[in-house]
Amino acid sequence: MRQMGDKTVVTNRRARREYFTEETYEAGLVLTGSEIKSVRAGRANLQDSYVTIRDGEAWLLNSHIAPYKQASDQNYVPKRERKLLLHRRQIDRLAGQVQAKGYTIIPLRLYLKNKRAKVEIALAKGKKLYDKRDDLAKRQAQRDIERALRRRRDEVVR
């Protein structure tokens, strides 16, 4: 779902390895002035972060946005809770899925869209160890196929 005006700041590579993603949503992110400057500088981290829903609002927890060096001494806490901006129906749907079916909500990437910070979040279910091994085996098999095809093409060209 990447569009032309999007600039990915940080991706959560671990999320794709650890979870099966079902649905993805785009959420706005409430930041202070120096936080958005730090995000634009690429000084953010989504590893080990997750989304929770409290009192009808979505919150991004455990995400790290490094303090902006040029800001005043009244800086912010790097791992504070940050509010996510979603439609009411989306929040209700996510809350229902998390409670009923044992899903979790994880951030996949943080990006800038029209100069605003957005987070792509996903409704996800954790992978078991054998699922991770299966994915690894599939990737390795695909790599071997591509290598063999490349070698074959090189032999035909010569």
User: Under CATH, which architecture does the 6-127 domain have?
Assistant: Beta Barrel (2.40)
Q: Give the residue ranges of DSSP H helices in the chain.
A: 13-18, 33-40, 88-101, 129-157
Domain map (residue ranges) of the chain? 6-127, 128-158
Sign of torsion over alpha carbons 36, 119, 12, 104: positive
Contacts of 18 (CB under 8 A, 6+ apart): 126, 127, 132
Give, for all 158 residues of the chain, the pLDDT tens digit. Answer: 555 668 899 999 888 888 889 899 999 999 988 889 889 999 999 998 999 999 999 999 999 998 888 876 667 788 889 999 999 999 999 999 998 887 999 999 999 999 899 999 999 988 888 778 888 899 999 999 999 999 888 888 77
The one-character DSSP state at 75 is -
pTM: 0.77
pLDDT for 27 equals 95
CA–CA distance, 68 with 37 (Å, rounded to integer) = 7
Sign of torsion over alpha carbons 123, 48, 53, 115: negative
CA–CA distance, 44 with 60 (Å, rounded to integer) = 13
Check: CB of residue 107 under 8 Å from CB of residue 6: no
User: What type of residue is 102?
Assistant: G
